[in-house]
Structure 1
Amino acid sequence: MKITSKLIASAVLSVFASTATAETELTVYTAVEAEDLARYAEAFNEVHPDITINWVRDSTGIITAKLLAERDNPQADVVWGLAATSLLLLKSEGMLEPYAPAGVEELDPKFVDKGDTPSWVGMDAWVAAVCYNTVEAEKEGLTPPTSWKDLTDPQYAGHLIMPNPNSSGTGFLDVSSWLQMFGEEGGWEYMDALHSNIARYTHSGSKPCKLAAAGEIPIGISFAFRGAKSKAAGAPLEIVVPSEGVGWDMEATAIVAGTDDLEAAQKLVDFSVTRGAMEMYNSGYAVVAMPGVAKPVEHFPEGLLDAMIENDFEFAANNRAAILKEWQSRYDGKSEPKN
């Protein structure tokens, strides 16, 4: 039964309301960075102390696969902070409960599902970038890349890490954007060449940049905010914006169809689009769904927003399974073991 899943402590990171009178529990699946979850729950509980959030956190690909596997017996009430491409897929499977949250009209329209009643609403956007450790690169005699195609240069062999798109939303936006920028044939040819230089594929989108920041690898394909955050902490990183353009995706929120706690779920989605929530997202992302809220993020690379491609989310969602199957058949041999 659904209530059983909420008691499996090994799978759930729980952030309890500060009051002992909590009446409702919501199981919320998320791919948001783990260190941010407590502050989101705390802010929500200031308004709704009677609702406890039980977070189930993993990478985008794992959460998406988990939701699809539970299609006939949903375990989550809300999906918070999952890639919009994943939510489009879930919508096509009839797995989302349409809901127009209070204040949705204040959001940039491109962050809102196009249905008559939206099935999901966006929170923020994350953007691909390359994290380049200047100290480690100098030790290896490397020169800084300026483009995606530069990364296929033999000088980078064994010095490059990127996320596995089957488990990482960042990895998937990279792959889908390369297929859009270079065409299907050219995209796979590019990834074949890139694969020759890859040391390994991680199951986290932030890990390649974290590893580069720690000096464990000179170059990590990751996302821009992770690089900015590591650079602000003192890591010797340059954040490279490839000249061909960069892929991106949105974090978004939706209600899972069939939830037993619809009213509480709606309150959480209402909170997700408030100005206060947007200000919290801006501490981690330079682009948020509500215009006029975002403030500059320290060390965020210049020109990145202009480099964002015209992302075809429908292409990415509709072809997700085929793209991932093809990628796995070609490159999965260099993936890290899954936890």
Structure 2
Amino acid sequence: MTLNLKKTLLAAAVALAATSVNAATELTVYTALEADQLKSYTKGFETANPDVKIRWVRDSTGIITARLLAEKENPQADAILGVAATSLLVLKDHQMLQPYKPKGVEALSEQFVDKDATPSWVGMDAWVASICYNRIEAEKHGLPLPTSWKDLTKPVYQGHVVMPNPNSSGTGYLDVTSWLQTFGEEQGWAFMDDLHQNIDRYTHSGSKPCKMAASGETPIGISFAYRGAKLISQGAPVDLAFPSEGLGWDMEAAAIVKGTKNLDAAQKLMDWAVTRDANTLYNDNFAVVAMPGVAKPVENYPADIADRMIDNDFEWAALNRERILKEWQRRYDGKSEAKN
């Protein structure tokens, strides 16, 4: 083979590779996943689907949900991955999701799949409420480790509790709806009235209260187990408390946005989301995942965390979302942080 021919073939190969990269479909995916989860999920999906590249648009659950609703007549997203199932039920009610039955979805637990014959969404994993307790700061203020939600209404905790705003945070919304289901609506609002007296502020991120506890900005942050477990592994002086009345939870879920021009690529994302490989990645962060038999114990989670999760009525939480958020805002929004 002559030198010129070798150069010609090499140039052609480089051009072909460049063409293949340029030909990859860019899939715009809205997500509320934690930023430190996106790298492994991107790698997992794109390795299995090299012809598709994900462009993530990330924000808190409430903000992503509001954005999708605002874009209803002119959708900007192709798909959704890692947004609360309660939010996807709202979008489904607005006929904004494209039904699709992913290949292999039968392997998932029934509770993680939309009940329609052709599901509009599929679940990924469950994220669970918890209390992040900074033992150093708590000792300074004489604050015992709370063992129940109602403990947090005791006068000793006044000004020492931070929690997420449910209008912007999915974690905040699962807290509020779980309390209303656990205590009943009348007693649930009464509990939140008492809790409000002890709240220092409401944040617009579900993970922020735990991060604040880890850094010593607050002794107690109502957050979720994933963030607390990660911070403990990084050496933060935090303990996780799992209140005795039961733990609110929601599931991260995936769906296709109706009207996407990249339907084939969006279907590939859904097919990947229900695979064993994807569920194994979910288990790196969460102790409860959609595919039975995959989950292994997660560091700093209690082994029986699934047994502590309440019997959550997602349909009720979705149906009553607007009413609950409006009532919460009327009562408590005065302590919310300013939005960036």
- 1:287-327 CA-to-partner distances (Å, cap 9, x unmatched) read 10001111111111354321111001111000000000000
Flag the structure with higher helix content: 2
- Pairwise CA RMSD: 1.3
Q: Which amino acid aligns with 2:171?
A: T
What is the CA–CA distance in structure 2 between the aligned matches of 1:161 and 1:80, rounded to whole Å? 28
Cα drift, residue 68 of structure 1: 0.6
Cα drift, residue 23 of structure 1: 2.8
Cα drift, residue 39 of structure 1: 2.0
What is the CA–CA distance in structure 1 between the aligned matches of 2:135 and 2:141, rounded to whole Å? 10
- 1:177-208 CA-to-partner distances (Å, cap 9, x unmatched) read 00001111111111010000000001111111
Q: Which amino acid aligns with 1:258?
A: G
- 1:138-161 CA-to-partner distances (Å, cap 9, x unmatched) read 011111111100100010011100
Q: Is the 8 A contact 2:148 2:243 kept in 1?
A: yes
1:141 aligned residue: 142
What is the CA–CA distance in structure 2 between the aligned matches of 1:136 and 1:51, rounded to whole Å? 47
Q: Is the 8 A contact 1:240 1:301 kept in 2?
A: no
State the number of aligned residues. Answer: 323
Normalised TM-score (structure 2): 0.93
What is the CA–CA distance in structure 2 between the aligned matches of 1:50 and 1:223, rounded to whole Å? 35
1:150 aligned residue: 151
What is the CA–CA distance in structure 1 between the aligned matches of 2:130 and 2:41, rounded to whole Å? 26
State the SS of the aligned residue for 1:200. strand
Q: Is the 8 A contact 2:32 2:64 kept in 1?
A: yes
Alignment of 1:79-90 (within 5 A): 79-90=80-91
Alignment of 1:200-219 (within 5 A): 200-219=201-220
1:252 aligned residue: 253
Alignment of 1:54-69 (within 5 A): 54-69=55-70
1:275 aligned residue: 276
What is the CA–CA distance in structure 1 between the aligned matches of 2:328 and 2:270, rounded to whole Å? 34
Unaligned 5+ residue runs, structure 2? Answer: 1-17
Q: Is the 8 A contact 1:21 1:50 kept in 2?
A: no
Q: Which moved more, 1:23-32 or 1:248-257?
A: 23-32
1:240 aligned residue: 241
- 1:91-135 CA-to-partner distances (Å, cap 9, x unmatched) read 111000000101101101100000110000000000001111111
Based on CA coordinates, which of the two structures has the bigger radius of gyration?
A: 2
Q: Is the 8 A contact 2:297 2:303 kept in 1?
A: no
Q: Is the 8 A contact 1:176 1:316 kept in 2?
A: yes
Cα drift, residue 22 of structure 1: 3.7
Q: Is the 8 A contact 1:22 1:52 kept in 2?
A: no
1:338 aligned residue: 339
What is the CA–CA distance in structure 1 between the aligned matches of 2:24 and 2:153, rounded to whole Å? 55
Cα drift, residue 243 of structure 1: 0.8
Cα drift, residue 42 of structure 1: 1.7
What is the CA–CA distance in structure 1 between the aligned matches of 2:322 and 2:45, rounded to whole Å? 35
- 1:33-76 CA-to-partner distances (Å, cap 9, x unmatched) read 01221221122111222211111000000000001111111111
What is the CA–CA distance in structure 2 between the aligned matches of 1:295 and 1:23, rounded to whole Å? 35
State the SS of the aligned residue for 1:20. helix
Q: Percent identity?
A: 68
Alignment of 1:1-339 (within 5 A): 20-339=21-340
Normalised TM-score (structure 1): 0.93
Q: Is the 8 A contact 2:206 2:224 kept in 1?
A: yes
